[in-house]
Amino acid sequence: MGFEMALSLLGGLALFLYGMQMMSANLETVAGGRMKEILEKLTASRLRAVLVGLVITAVIQSSSATTVMVVGFVNAGLMTLGGAVGVIMGANIGTTITGQLVALDIGALAPLLAFAGVAPCLFIKNRRIQSICGIVTGLGLLFIGMNMMSSALTPLRDNEAFVGLMTRFSNPLLGIAVGALFTAVIQSSSASVGILQALAMGGLIDLGSAVYVLFGQNIGTCITAVLASVGTSRNAKRTTLIHLLFNIIGTVFFTVLCLTTPFTELMVRLTPDNAAAQIANTHTLFNVTTTLLLLPFAGALAKLSTILLPERQQEESDVDRWFDAFFKNNRLGASTMAVESLSRDVQTMLHMASLNVSAAFEAVRNGCREGIDAIERREEEIDLYNRHLSQKASRVLALELDAKDVNSVQQIYTITGNVERIGDHAMNIAQYAQHLRDKNLKLSDAVLHEVAEMEDICRQALDALSGDTRKQSERILGEETVFEQRMDDTNRAFRDKQLQRLASGSCSPESAILYSEMLTDYERIGDHILNIAEAYAKMSAGPQPLA
């Protein structure tokens, strides 16, 4: 290979890969947010899952990106393992779209496409339009790069050593190994299939040899998801295993088919004058057929992955390392998973605060020391969660988030601060219980009845915040507004009664002071609960436009 040929080949490869990356990035900008919403709302329907995976991958031009996103969704608890199986199958079909685009004989129009994409960007500053232009430019660069690679490789048809090397790929094991290794290195099956098409267009490899390399490329594309699953939950790892099993089973099936039937000859006859289309059609047929064969056994694949990767205890630090590694690379779907991960942690923190509020009022009523010890331990956990969530939220805000996700993270900051304050007020009430116990002070039956009523109202108000609060935020805000008013009313009523008891001498001044402080904490808990409900409502409503 001469120096000029090598330069032309490298330049063509650079344009091809950059065009693909440019097209994928801008497609994600235009439609990525919608794609994440579709995945988040995915149902258990296998067929719908396949269609979703197909559409998303066809749009973003990367099965690896879709699969990595699915791994993250499973790890975050947004998707079940069963639902992930269908999406992965659909992603394998969707990734063949790039090969079909390459097979289109529009190379002469490639410079026009690139110009049509670049020219408007010089005059139009709208970001969405610029992204659409970027898609067109990327497509043009992809075809220019393909033509450059094909032209650079064409002279090698007369090189006996190179032709001999290509014919060795007719050995199934060697072809599969080379295809898998090459795709694992560049981490893109679309790009590696495109390069294979360039070799075919240059007449350097026929379908009989290329088909095994193509099968190996399907296996090699799994490496990206495997790397993304390091440090994730067990189910997330099983998702990558299913992706790998899908491609291995498909490879075994089609390898046997090629060795025992005239399969490759039939594929050549479909488009005898278009080598790139032969590879693209084989790639599409591989993934469609494998999906049709394995879709009825999606449940069995999920069970097999569970058997191969049984449950084990996972260290929290592993999850944190995954969180850092995943979001640092700003992968597709990262912001949705980040917000979901933060929201789940907030619910855990809120549950502990709710337990402490109930336990604190109970400690006032019965003076149990063990209950106070448990409250102190949970309060330490709440404080740790608050710091942990603040650090996580800071890392998420460092991503390139859209306005909706930024608003969600900001509201989560507000919520965690209010939950932490609820925990502090619960701790104050527990300390009043401890003081009553140490000083051997007694509360009257009337006061204990009021304490029980405060506990019941707080429990109801906090229970209303549990679950998927964001989807019912307006209804919950209405309920919490009523609860907050009720807590204000009971606070005033109980203070009036306490003044009457103090005036009549039926309670000691020290007990009255402690009870007055308790009422203050009770009222503040109501304020913080309402603040949380308002933050959830703002999160659901999205960012408000500037006045």
pLDDT at 486: 93
Beta strands in 40-189 (DSSP E): none
Nearest partner of 361 among 269, 450, 469, judged by Cα: 450
**502: amino acid identity, one letter:** L
DSSP 444: -
pTM of the model: 0.58
Predicted confidence (pLDDT) per residue in 50-79, tens digit: 887 887 777 666 676 677 677 767 766 667
Q: How far apart are CA 30 and CA 99, in angstroms?
A: 22
Predicted confidence (pLDDT) per residue in 395-419, tens digit: 776 665 667 777 888 888 889 889 9
Mean pLDDT, the chain, integer: 79
Q: Please report the DSSP string for 490-544 in residue order.
A: HHHHHHHHHHHHHHHT-S-HHHHHHHHHHHHHHHHHHHHHHHHHHHHHHHHH-PP
Residue 342, pLDDT > 90, answer no
pLDDT band per the 50, 70, 90 thresholds, residue 524? very high
Q: How far apart are CA 539 and CA 472, in angstroms?
A: 11
pLDDT at 546: 44
Nearest partner of 189 among 77, 97, 64, judged by Cα: 64
Predicted confidence (pLDDT) per residue in 437-464, tens digit: 888 888 888 889 999 999 999 999 999 8
Which of 28-37, 236-245, 481-490 shows the highest mean pLDDT? Answer: 481-490
Predicted confidence (pLDDT) per residue in 149-193, tens digit: 767 766 666 566 655 666 677 788 888 888 888 887 766 677 778
The CATH 1.20.58.220 domain(s) of the chain lie at: 333-541
Residue 33, pLDDT > 60, answer no
Domain 333-541: give its CATH superfamily.
Answer: Phosphate transport system protein phou homolog 2; domain 2 (1.20.58.220)
Residue 494, pLDDT > 70, answer yes
